[in-house]
Amino acid sequence: MLIESLNNLKIARRDLLINAMKGGGALVLGFNLPGSALFAADSSAALPGARKLDPARLDTWIAINKKGDVTAYWGKMDMGQGVDTAISQMVAEELDVKIEKVTVLFGDTYVMTDQGGASGSSGVSNSGVALREAAAEARQVLLEKASTLMNLPVDKLTVIDGVIQEQGNSTHTLSYGDIIGDKLFNVPLEWNGEIGNELELKSRAKLKDPANYKVVGTSVGRKDITGKIIPKTRFTVHSRVPGMLHGRMIRPPSAGATIVSVDKDSIAHIPGVQVVVEKDFIGVVAPKEWDAIRASRALKVNWDETKSGFPTTSEKLHDYIRKATADKSEVPENIGDVDAALASNKKPMEVEYEWPFQSHARMAASVGLADVKVESGGTVWTDSQKFYDTAICTAKMLGLKAEGEQIPVRSIWGPGPGSYGRSDSADGVLDAVVLSKAVGAPVRVQWMRNEGIAWDPKGPASVINMRAAIGEDGKVSAWHFHLKGFSRQDVSSREHSPSETLAGQLLGHTRKRNWTMSEPANSYGFANKRYSWDAIKPLRDMGSPLRTSHFRDPYGAEIHFAVESFVDEMAYSTGMDPVAFRLQYLTEQRDIDVIKAVADLAQWQPRTAARKQKNANGMLVGTGISYAQRNASVNAVIAEVEVNPQTGRVWVKRFFVGSDYGLIINPFTLDRTIEGNLIQGTSRTLFEEVKFDEKTVHSVDWATYPIVEVADAPEEVKIVKINRPELGPKGAGEPVTRVVPAAIANAVFDATGIRFRKAPLTAARVKAALDAAV
Amino acid sequence: MANQFNINVDGVDYQIEAEPDMPLLYALTNDLEHKGPKFGCGLAQCGACTVIHEGVAIRSCVTPVSAVTGKVRTLDGIGTTENPHPLQKAFIQSEAGQCQYCINGWIMTSLAFLEQNPKRTDAEIRDALAGLKCRCGTHMAILRAVRSAADEMAG
C-alpha cells in the first residue's frame, strides 16, 4: 500500500483513513495540502466496510493524534466560500485548541458521513453546528479521562490550547495527545437519526458561551486557497488514473432529436476511438483527449428531428407561460380575504414581472471520471455538490445495491468550478459512468463549453403577477403574489436516480414529475395576504436542455425581483419613501434593523418619486433598496446605479449591504461571500437570458450567454453586519442573491423614471425603453 | 499524424508528441500535468487557460502546440508556497476568487500587464483584464489583489 503524501501531513489517526481504504490494493492519496478535500487518484479504490461510519459514534467525527492535531470529518464540501475554514474555527473553539491544530477533511463517501452536500446555505448552520457538538463532546470525554488520570474532579480542570491542567496549577497538566493520541474515543454520541442536511449531533457538555470565543468571529484565512493559487491542488479536472480513456459527448442538432444511424467510418482516421451508442445516448472515447474531441466533432450521426424542438421560443416565452395550462396549483399562504379587499378597492394595482431561463454557466462545463464495472461497482470522481447522491445514482445505473452502508460505489469529491446549485456537474460524471460501463475502462468525460451553457439544468423561467389594494388612507389592505412558471425541480437537485440525470433520461429512464415552487420570504404585515402558484410542464418532457432545477437560491431571485420591485411601486403610489414604506409594514425586528443599518450606511436620501438625476458625465443616477429573508438570515441591499442614456448600459457603481446571519464565524470571508452574491446577482439581473428557438438552445458560450465583466464590477462595496451570537450561525452562502435584482431595478427606476419588470435589464432593453419614453 | 514538438515551459524543455493542431493547453495539463492553466471554454472567451508566451498573455486553449515557438510561462512556475509571486501573495491575502477555477487567467493576465506597465491606473487594470470571466463574482477582491500586487511589484 502506498500512502505517499499522508505521511507529510498532520492528519490525526491515519490508521482510520488507511483502514478505510484497505481491500483494494494500492492507493495514492492526493492530499495536496492539509484541509483540502480528500482526493484519491487511484481507481483501484477500496471497498467499503473497514471503517464503519456510524453517526452515533464520536470517532466518526473527530480524531486526535499524539501531537494533539485534530481532524474533523465533515460530510459536506466547500465550493470556495471558506466553509471548511469556518468549521475548523468552530471545532477549534469548542475543543479549546489553536486553529492551526485543526484539519477538516471532506469529500469521500467512504470516509465521511453524508451531511447533505452543498445545499441551501447550510454548510455552517447545519453541518458546522453538528461538528461543533462533536467537538464539545470530544472535549468532555477528554476532561473525564483526565479527571481519572489526574485524580481530580472535572470541575477542577481547565483547558488551554489542547492542554488540560489543574486550575491554578500550571505544572499539573495532561495534553490531548497524551490522553487520546492515535487512539479511538470509542464512545457514543447523541445523534438524531437523520442523514444529510437534517443530521444533528448533541453533546452532553454545555457549549461554550459566545462571550468567551477566541477563534470564532475572527478572520482566519481560507485554508484551501494557497494550494489553489500556487497551484498544487488537484481539481476534479485533473483526475487521472492508469488506463484511463477520454470521453466526449455528442449532442443532437435539435432538442430531443433521436438517433437513426451512426457512420463510424467518418472517424476511422482518428486512432483508437470507440463510439458508444445506447438509445439516444452517444459519446466517444479515445486514449488521447484531443482525439476524443476531434472524433466528437467529426462523427457523422443521422438524427431524426421530426419530433424534436420546443413549443415556443425565448422571445415568446412569457406569453407562452401565461397561456399554459397549470398542471399543479397551490396556495401556500392565505391570510384574511384578499379577494374581498381587492374587489372593494377603487384602484387596485396589478402588474407582472418576467424572468428568463438562466444557466448555471459554470467557469468550465461538467467533468467527471468513472471507473466502474457492472459486477462490482467502482469509483467516481466528481465535483458535484451532491456527491453522495452521485454514488447512489452510479450504483443504480450499474444495477447494484444503492442503499445502506455498503454501497459498492465510492464517490470522491474534488474541487471544481463553482456550481451554484444543481448544475451540469452531476450530468457529466454520470455520462462517464455510462461510457466506463460500456468500454470496460476508466473514462474521464469533459463537457465542452456549449454543453455547459446549453445543456445544464436551468434556473426556471416565470411570470409573477402582483396585485395590491391600497385604501384611501394610504394603507395596504391586500396583497397577492402569484407565481406561474416551471418547477424548480423538474430534475431533482440531487442526482440520486438515473432518471434525474441527462444520461439516464437519454437512456429512457422515466420519472414522476416533481412540482416544486417557492414563495416570498419577508415580514410585511399586510392585513390580507395571499401567496399562490401555478406550475406548468417543461417545454420538453425528457432529455431537454431546458429541464429546470435549483440555481443558486432556487426561485429566490425571480420571486424577490417581483416582490421587492412591487413594494417600491406600492410605496411610490402612496407617496411614500421606499425605505419608510418598508419600515412601516415590517413586523420583525431583525428585518427592521438591517434596513435601518443599510440606509444609514448608504446615507439614503428619502424620496417619494423617481428623482431622475444626472451626474456631471451625463449619466442618469439613482439608488434603490430591496430586502428579503432567507431561512433564518436577512439582508437589505442598496444599489447605486449609473444609466448611460446613449447606450442604455446600467452600471452598479456602489453596493451597500446590511446583513444579519446570526453568529458571525469569519467576518472577512463572509464579506467575500456577500460580494460574490452581489456580483453574480448583478450578472443575472443585467445580462443573463438563455436564448432558444423552436429547434434548440442558442446560448452556447460566453458570446451568446454574456455574463458580468470586470468593467461591470462596482467601484465600491460597503457592508455592515449585525452579529447576533445568541442566534447561532445562519446560512450565508446564497441569501444576498435574491435581494440584488430589485435593488438594481429600483435604482434604475429612481434614475430614469422607468419601471423595468422584465429581467435581464440589458442595455438594449433599457435603451429601447429610454427612447420610447422620450 | 502525430508529430514531435519541442516546447519550453517555465524554463524546462519538453518534447511533446501531438497532432499539430492540438492546443497547447492539452500538452500542459495532460503531458506536463500542470495545475495552473485550466480548460474553461476552448474558445478564448474566458481566460482560464492563460499562459505567457514571450511576454504576451495568450489563451493556450486555442494556441496550436505547433505555433509555440518561444518561452512559455505558467502559473505553476511563477512562485512557490514558501516564496510566492507578489500576485499570488496578494490573491491569497485578498481571498480573491472563490472556486479558484478562473484565477489562473486573472493572475497571468495581470502579470503580463504589470510587467509591461508598472505604473497603472485602476481604469487601465480593468481594461487589461477585460474578457476574463469569474463566475463566482469575486471581481472586487480580484481588483484589490491586483492593485496591492502592483504596488509591491512597483516597489
Is B93:B125 a contact under the CB 8 Å cutoff? no
Contacts (Cβ under 8 Å, ≥6 apart) of A674: A657, A659, A717, A719, A732, A736
- Residue A403 cell numbers, joined: 442503499
Last residue of a domain, one of B27, B54, B76: B76
Work out the burial of residue A405: count CB atoms within 10 Å of its CB; fewer than 13 is exposed, 13-18 middle, 19 or more buried: exposed
How confident is residue A404, by pLDDT bands cut at 50, 70 and 90? confident
Minimal CA separation from A79 to chain B, in Å: 6
**Preferred mutation among B98, B103, B107, B125 to probe A, highest tally of A CBs within 10 A:** B98
Q: Phi first, then psi: what are they for A93, rounded to 5°?
A: -60, -50
- First vs last Cα of chain A: how many Å apart? 76
Is A356:A557 a contact under the CB 8 Å cutoff? no
Transcribe A216-250 into DSSP letters: TTS-PPPTTHHHHHTT-PPPGGG---TT-EEEEE-
pLDDT of B25 above 70: yes
Contacts of A233 in chain B (CB under 8 A): 35, 100
| Number of domains forming the structure of chain B | 2
User: B35 with B96, same domain?
Assistant: no
User: CA quadruple A347, A348, A354, A360: dihedral positive or negative?
Assistant: positive
Q: Phi first, then psi: what are they for A728, rounded to 5°?
A: 75, 170
Contacts of B20 in chain A (CB under 8 A): none
Contacts of A82 in chain B (CB under 8 A): 95
Q: Which of A81, A226, A418 minimises the CB distance to B135?
A: A418
pLDDT of A51 above 60: no
Q: Phi first, then psi: what are they for A650, rounded to 5°?
A: -105, 130
pTM for this entry: 0.95
User: B53 with B91, same domain?
Assistant: no
Amino acid at A602: A
Tell me, what's the pLDDT at A137?
Answer: 98
CA distance A482 to A462: 10
Do the domain assignments include residue B30? yes
Do the domain assignments include residue B63? yes
Residue of chain A with shortest Cα separation from B37: A231
Contacts of B136 in chain A (CB under 8 A): 80, 363, 418, 676, 680
User: B101 with B56, same domain?
Assistant: no
Do the domain assignments include residue B17? yes
| pLDDT tens per residue, range A181-213 | 989 999 999 999 999 999 999 999 999 999 999
| pLDDT tens per residue, range A262-300 | 999 999 999 999 999 999 999 999 999 999 999 999 999
User: B14 with B68, same domain?
Assistant: yes
How many Cα atoms sit within 13 Å of A767 on the Cβ side?
8
User: B53 with B99, same domain?
Assistant: no
| pLDDT tens per residue, range A64-114 | 999 999 999 999 999 999 999 999 999 999 999 999 999 999 999 999 999
CA distance A643 to A442: 53
pLDDT of A24 above 70: no
| pLDDT tens per residue, range A215-241 | 999 999 999 999 999 999 999 999 999
| pLDDT tens per residue, range A558-597 | 999 999 999 999 999 999 999 999 999 999 999 999 999 9
Is B83:B102 a contact under the CB 8 Å cutoff? no
- For A419-442, what is the HEC assignment? CCECCCHHHHHHHHHHHHHHHCCC
CA angle A484, A317, A760 (to 5 degrees): 85
| pLDDT tens per residue, range A349-375 | 999 999 999 999 999 999 999 999 999
User: Which residue, chain included where needed, has cell 443575472?
Assistant: A684
Task: Test B101 with A363 for CB contact under 8 angstroms.
Answer: yes
Is A664:A727 a contact under the CB 8 Å cutoff? no
Minimal CA separation from B133 to chain A, in Å: 6
Give the residue from A546, A510, A585 showing the smallest Cα distance to A697: A546
Give the residue from A374, A379, A367 showing the smallest Cα distance to A109: A379
- Residue A409 cell numbers, joined: 460505489
Domain range for B21 is: 3-76
CA distance A107 to A74: 8
Task: Test A710 with B132 for CB contact under 8 angstroms.
Answer: yes
Q: Cα-atom radius of gyration of chain B, to the nearest Å? A: 15
Give the residue from A560, A473, A462, A460 showing the smallest Cα distance to A514: A460
Contacts (Cβ under 8 Å, ≥6 apart) of B103: A228, A229, B91, B96, B97
Q: How much is the ipTM here? A: 0.98
CA distance A659 to A629: 10
Give the residue from A39, A48, A107, A97 showing the smallest Cα distance to A76: A107
- Residue B34 cell numbers, joined: 500542470
Q: What is the mean pLDDT of residues A324-337?
A: 98
Is A683:B137 a contact under the CB 8 Å cutoff? yes
Q: Which of B22, B39, B143 minimises the CB distance to A364?
A: B39
User: B103 with B146, same domain?
Assistant: yes
How many Cβ atoms sit within 10 Å of the Cβ of residue A694? 13
**Preferred mutation among A236, A710, A716 to probe B, highest tally of B CBs within 10 A:** A710
Residue of chain A with shortest Cα separation from B48: A363
pLDDT of A37 above 80: no
Using CA atoms, how far residue A601 sits from A452, A679, A721, in Å, is: 39, 19, 11
Using CA atoms, how far residue A313 sits from A550, A555, A562, A641, in Å, is: 22, 21, 22, 31
Contacts (Cβ under 8 Å, ≥6 apart) of A628: A520, A521, A522, A556, A560, A563, A564, A634, A635, A735, A738, A739
Residue of chain A with shortest Cα separation from B131: A709
| pLDDT tens per residue, range A117-145 | 999 989 999 999 999 999 999 999 999 99
How confident is residue A52, by pLDDT bands cut at 50, 70 and 90? low
Give SS3 for A479.
strand
Is A669:A86 a contact under the CB 8 Å cutoff? yes
User: B56 with B104, same domain?
Assistant: no
Is A294:A249 a contact under the CB 8 Å cutoff? no
Task: Test A80 with B98 for CB contact under 8 angstroms.
Answer: yes
User: B129 with B65, same domain?
Assistant: no
Interface of B with A in 19-48 (CB under 8 A): 19, 22-23, 26, 29-30, 33, 35-36, 38-43, 45-46, 48
Last residue of a domain, one of B51, B76, B101: B76
How many Cβ atoms sit within 10 Å of the Cβ of residue A206? 8
Centroid of chain to Cα A356:
20
Residue of chain B with shortest Cα separation from A453: B41
CA distance A157 to A143: 7
Q: Phi first, then psi: what are they for A738, rounded to 5°?
A: -70, -20
Write down the H helix ranges in A642-720.
667-686
Give SS3 for A328.
strand
Is A421:A550 a contact under the CB 8 Å cutoff? yes
Average pLDDT value over all residues in chain A? 93
Work out the burial of residue A505: count CB atoms within 10 Å of its CB; fewer than 13 is exposed, 13-18 middle, 19 or more buried: buried
Do the domain assignments include residue B68? yes
For chain B, the farthest-separated pair of C-alpha atoms sits apart, in whole angstroms, at 50
Q: Which of A294, A363, A710 minimises the CB distance to B139?
A: A710
User: B70 with B116, same domain?
Assistant: no
User: B60 with B98, same domain?
Assistant: no
E-assigned strands of A512-611?
528-536
Tell me, what's the pLDDT at A342?
Answer: 97
Residue of chain B with shortest Cα separation from A669: B95
Average pLDDT value over all residues in chain B? 97
Q: Phi first, then psi: what are they for A380, rounded to 5°?
A: -125, 140
Domain with residue B31: its CATH number is 3.10.20.30
User: B62 with B91, same domain?
Assistant: no
User: Which residue, chain included where needed, has cell 424572468?
Assistant: A355
User: B111 with B142, same domain?
Assistant: yes
Give SS3 for A201.
strand
Give the residue from A769, A741, A774 showing the smallest Cα distance to A648: A769
Burial string for A715-751 (b: 16+ CB within 10 Å, else e) reads: eebebbbeebeebbbbbbbbbbbbbbbbbbbbbbbbb
Tell me, what's the pLDDT at A379?
Answer: 97
| pLDDT tens per residue, range A591-645 | 999 999 999 999 999 999 999 999 999 999 999 999 999 999 999 999 999 999 9
Task: Test B35 with A364 for CB contact under 8 angstroms.
Answer: no
pLDDT of A44 above 70: no
Interface of B with A in 75-94 (CB under 8 A): 75-76, 79-81, 84, 88, 91-93
Q: What is the mean pLDDT of residues B113-140?
A: 96
Query: A19-28, A164-173, A644-653, B68-77: which has the minimum mean pLDDT?
Result: A19-28
Contacts of B131 in chain A (CB under 8 A): 709
Last residue of a domain, one of B11, B46, B76: B76
Do the domain assignments include residue B81? no
Amino acid at A20: A
How confident is residue A53, by pLDDT bands cut at 50, 70 and 90? confident
Do the domain assignments include residue B149? yes
Q: Element (H or E) spanning B17, and its range?
A: strand B12-18
CA distance B111 to B57: 8
Domain with residue B131: its CATH number is 1.10.150.120
| pLDDT tens per residue, range A299-314 | 999 999 999 999 999 9
Tell me, what's the pLDDT at B1?
Answer: 66
pLDDT of A257 above 90: yes
pLDDT of A767 above 80: yes
Tell me, what's the pLDDT at B97?
Answer: 97
CA distance A577 to A595: 13
